[in-house]
């Protein structure tokens, strides 16, 4: 076993330890980084500070001395003619053109695995909309807010996740590259581990419970909660708990009806004229799932 681990370690650190082979790009229309930076000094300085700068510093993927052209394409003609039309400008290119340039290297990254299903991909939102190449962009929340101003409005409600305090980020729950979960919800610890991102923080709702509350598994936390913000102190999507519960546990349709919605029969016979019974979770405290009681009382 130890030998196997050593072999694996040696493989992990040994394979490719040598500098990557550099391609000879002479005569292929490339100008070289030096020529690019001679005119675009500001971009060059910014770029050198980013992680992409490793292409130049380390010669990653064989682009040493030509790293600008790794993304912008061969620039010799652009340099000679000094005309913008001879170079790929990601800010002015269509998202599809810009993405093709980025995904040439990044398509296979693990965080992008759900990208083809993601709404950003479907809506032709290019990589450059969120990511800066020449300089790092600000915190993810403010990046997202640039387009999702509708979500900004929801976070301004009195009971909301405190995204303005720096402890919660959009990407804690959502994978902007796309995910198999609904609404791009990120799996726990970025593993897409069959769990919604909500459980990243709310570990006590994780289960498995002996008695599961089916909506939590089948339709997720959003079936009862407004996760971005609400006027309700528990971020519920109804003003009264009673309505939230009894809309499903409605006694309608009658048992055996062919529509077959789950949980249609109310689990109790309480008198709703009493305020106590209008707040179901006063007694059904383990409403997310109970380890010991089928009626979620304990």
Residues 67-106 that bind another protein (CB under 8 A): 92, 94-96
The residue within the footprint of another protein, chosen from 37, 102, 125, 183 (CB under 8 A), is 125
Residue 223 binds another protein (CB under 8 A): yes
- C-alpha distances out from residue 142 to 149, 169, 198, 201, 230, Å: 10, 9, 20, 21, 21
Nearer to another protein, 31 or 71 (CB): 71
Question: Of 260-289, which residues contact another protein (CB under 8 A)?
Answer: 260-272, 275-276, 278-279, 281-283, 285
Closer residue to another protein (CB): 76 or 99: 99
Backbone angles phi, psi at 6, to 5 degrees: -60, -40
Q: Look up residue 34 and give its two tokens.
A: 């030096």
23 lies in the site for another protein, by CB under 8 A: no
Burial 185-215 (b: 16+ CB within 10 A, else e): bbbbeeebeebbbbbbeeeebebebeeebeb
- Of 179-198, which residues contact another protein (CB under 8 A)? 180, 188-189, 191-194
Residue 157 as a binder of another protein (CB under 8 A): the answer is: yes
Separation between Cα atoms, residue 62 and residue 16, nearest integer Å:
13
Give the nearest distance from C-beta 260 to another protein in angstroms. 6
Q: Which of 166, 197, 220, 227 binds another protein (CB under 8 A)?
A: 166
User: Cα(151)–Cα(235) distance, rounded to whole angstroms?
Assistant: 15
Minimum Å gap between C-beta 296 and another protein is 10
Q: How far is the CB of 295 from another protein (least distance, A)?
A: 6
> Considering only 29-37, 64-72, 74-82, 218-226, which stretch makes contact with another protein by CB under 8 A?
218-226
**Contact between 217 and another protein (CB under 8 A)?**
yes
Min separation Cβ 80 and another protein, Å: 25
The CA distance from 214 to 113, in Å, is: 28
Of the ranges 21-29, 66-74, 79-87, 142-150, which one interacts with another protein (CB under 8 A)? 142-150
Question: Which runs of consecutive H residues, i.e. helices, occur in the chain?
Answer: 2-14, 33-39, 41-49, 54-57, 67-72, 76-81, 95-106, 119-122, 140-145, 149-155, 170-173, 214-218, 241-246, 275-278
């Amino acid at each position: 076993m130890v030998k196997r681990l050593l072999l694996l370690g040696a493989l992990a650190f040994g394979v490719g330890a040598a500098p990557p082979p550099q391609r000879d790009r002479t005569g292929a229309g490339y100008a070289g980084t030096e020529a690019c930076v001679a005119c675009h000094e500001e971009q060059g300085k910014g770029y050198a500070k980013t992680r992409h700068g490793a292409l130049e510093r380390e010669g990653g993927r064989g682009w040493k001395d030509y790293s600008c052209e790794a993304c912008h394409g061969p620039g010799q003609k652009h340099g000679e003619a000094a005309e913008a039309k001879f170079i790929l400008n990601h800010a002015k290119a269509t998202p599809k053109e810009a993405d093709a340039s980025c995904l040439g290297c990044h398509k296979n990254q693990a965080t992008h695995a759900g990208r083809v299903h993601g709404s950003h991909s479907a809506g032709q939102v290019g990589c450059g909309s969120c990511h800066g190449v020449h300089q790092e962009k600000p915190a993810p929340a403010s990046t997202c807010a640039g387009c999702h101003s509708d979500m900004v409005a929801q976070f301004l409600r009195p009971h909301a996740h405190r995204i303005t305090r720096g402890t919660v980020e959009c990407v804690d729950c959502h994978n902007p590259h796309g995910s198999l979960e609904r609404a791009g919800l990120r799996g726990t610890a970025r593993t897409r581990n069959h769990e919604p991102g909500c459980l990243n923080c709310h570990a006590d709702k994780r289960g498995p419970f002996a008695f599961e509350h089916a909506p939590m598994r089948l339709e997720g936390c959003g079936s009862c909660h407004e996760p971005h913000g609400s006027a309700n102190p528990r971020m519920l999507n109804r003003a009264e708990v009673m309505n939230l519960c009894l809309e499903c546990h409605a006694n309608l349709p009658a048992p055996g009806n062919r529509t077959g919605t789950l949980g249609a029969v109310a689990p109790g016979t309480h008198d709703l004229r009493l305020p106590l019974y209008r707040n179901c979770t006063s007694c059904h405290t383990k409403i997310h799932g109970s380890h010991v009681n089928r009626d979620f009382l304990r």
